[in-house]
Amino acid sequence: MDSPDLALAPERGRLKMADIARMAGVSISTVSRALAGNPLIPKTLRDQIVEIAQTHGYVVNQSARSLRLRKTDTIGVIIPLAHEAGQMISDPFFLEMVGRLADEITRRDYLVLLNKVITNEPGWLDRIIQSHRADGLLIIGQSTQHEALNAVAASYRPMVVWGAPIPGHRYCLVGSDNREGGRLAVSHLVARGRRRIVFLGEIDAPEATQRYEGYRKGVEEAGIAFDPALVIPSHYTREDAQRAVEGLLASGVAFDAVFAFSDVLALAALTTLQRSGKRVPSDVAVVGFDDILLAQHSTPPLTTIRQDLEAGARIMVDLLFRRMAGDSSPSTISPVNLVARESA
């Protein structure tokens, strides 16, 4: 069973370091060091061992390595969903964000562990952290989980959250200036002569709240009386926004513009309005938020508040790696800008 010499690989696929050691006629430690490029091992021997490993298709078992080293070379990307488990599929925003993050992470030779989480179950974050599957965590959107994040932030450092700053947040936060975005949108609409501006969206998550606050501020700055009838709640899906806009139209409330929480909602509003005979922008102007890829392709193209996701993703990953290295890192809010297209 233990033929000492150059035994052939056993059944392909379950090689371990000991096998390579035997083939090379050295000890396991030497193989480990050689494969790690440790200069203690003379270059010739090192190359020899690497060569043997390669020709036999041997690769270090990562579970064992992770257990020993307490590190996984993996970053967890977490998408917290409050209820609707189906959102991810349909939500281009998440997808674009994930793509960007994945690129940044793989550029650093880390892997991406994608994790769609239902936040209803308390302890979800602890469970992820304690499972030790990832060396760091990127949370896309606070959702309603500010408290949970804060609770964990004190003792768990390598975590960066995409979202909006809430007073007293103790976790590292990266995001856009949502409030200013909301204000910008309204001010643009006002400059176009609109007075009856709808806010379309949920007001639960911090990002939403702040966009709404910006909306309120913009309305106020314009000297327009705030009308609560113009605040139309809608979940984050296309379908819900459509329902909401249909309800609005049916209600008979007069309006000449819509500022939506996101492009997804804005695009849903756009088509719903058009389908019921309204012209955009002449009857109703529409402004979105995010500037997803779709925004420039709608008819008419969507005027929107642009978040630079590429930069955002880069910053998130940057800060995360700094935290993983033990540094502290500042929360960062990036400016947004209005992209004027034809819908408003």
Partner DNA sequence: CTGAAAGCGCTAACAC
Partner DNA sequence: GTGTTAGCGCTTTCAG
Residues at the site binding DNA, with contacts judged by CB under 7 A: 14, 16-18, 26-30, 32-33, 35-36, 40-42, 45, 60-61, 64-65, 67-70
How far is CA 148 from its chain centroid? 18
- What is the per-residue DSSP string for 68-130? HHT--SEEEEEEEESS-TTHHHH-HHHHHHHHHHHHHHHHTT-EEEEEEEETTSTTHHHHHHH
| Closest CB to DNA among residues 66, 331 | 66
Structure tokens at 107: 């550029």
**Min CB(293)–a copy of itself separation in Å:** 7
Question: Which residues in the 54-83 window bind a copy of itself by CB under 8 A?
Answer: 54, 57-64, 66-67, 72, 74
Question: Which residues in the 84-123 window bind a copy of itself by CB under 8 A?
Answer: 85-86, 88-89, 92, 94-96, 98-100, 102-103, 106, 111-116, 123
**Min CB(133)–a copy of itself separation in Å:** 5
The reply to whether 290 sits near a copy of itself by the rule CB under 8 A is: no
DSSP state of 338: E
Upper half-sphere CA count for residue 283 (Cβ side, 13 Å): 11
Pick from 200, 307, 302, 318: nearest CA to 249: 200
Q: Which stretch binds a copy of itself (CB under 8 A): 7-15, 44-52, 168-176, 314-322?
A: 7-15
Question: Which residues in the 156-175 window bind a copy of itself by CB under 8 A?
Answer: 156
**Min CB(241)–DNA separation in Å:** 44
| Closest CB to DNA among residues 66, 90 | 66
Q: Verify cis geometry, omega within 30 degrees of 0, for the bond prior to 300.
A: yes
How far is CA 5 from its chain centroid? 52
CB of 23 within 8 A of CB of 7? Answer: yes
**Binder of residue 209, out of a copy of itself, DNA, none (CB less than 5 to 8 A by kind):** none
| Closest CB to a copy of itself among residues 158, 175 | 158
CB of 299 within 8 A of CB of 289? Answer: no
**Min CB(178)–a copy of itself separation in Å:** 23
**Binder of residue 16, out of a copy of itself, DNA, none (CB less than 5 to 8 A by kind):** DNA
Structure tokens at 185: 């949108």
**Binder of residue 254, out of a copy of itself, DNA, none (CB less than 5 to 8 A by kind):** none
**Min CB(329)–a copy of itself separation in Å:** 19
| Closest CB to DNA among residues 18, 340 | 18
**Binder of residue 42, out of a copy of itself, DNA, none (CB less than 5 to 8 A by kind):** DNA
Report the distance separating Cα 121 and Cα 250, nearest Å: 37
CB of 52 within 8 A of CB of 114? Answer: no
Report the distance separating Cα 228 and Cα 269, nearest Å: 19
Pick from 216, 230, 161: nearest CA to 185: 216
Which listed residue (245, 267, 315, 316) binds a copy of itself by CB under 8 A? 267
Question: Which residues in the 307-326 window bind a copy of itself by CB under 8 A?
Answer: 310
Which amino acid belongs to residue 111? Answer: L
- First-to-last CA distance in the chain? 78
**Binding stretches for a copy of itself (CB under 8 A):** 12-13, 15, 54, 57-64, 66-67, 72, 74, 85-86, 88-89, 92, 94-96, 98-100, 102-103, 106, 111-116, 123, 126-127, 129-133, 155-156, 267, 293-294, 297-299, 310
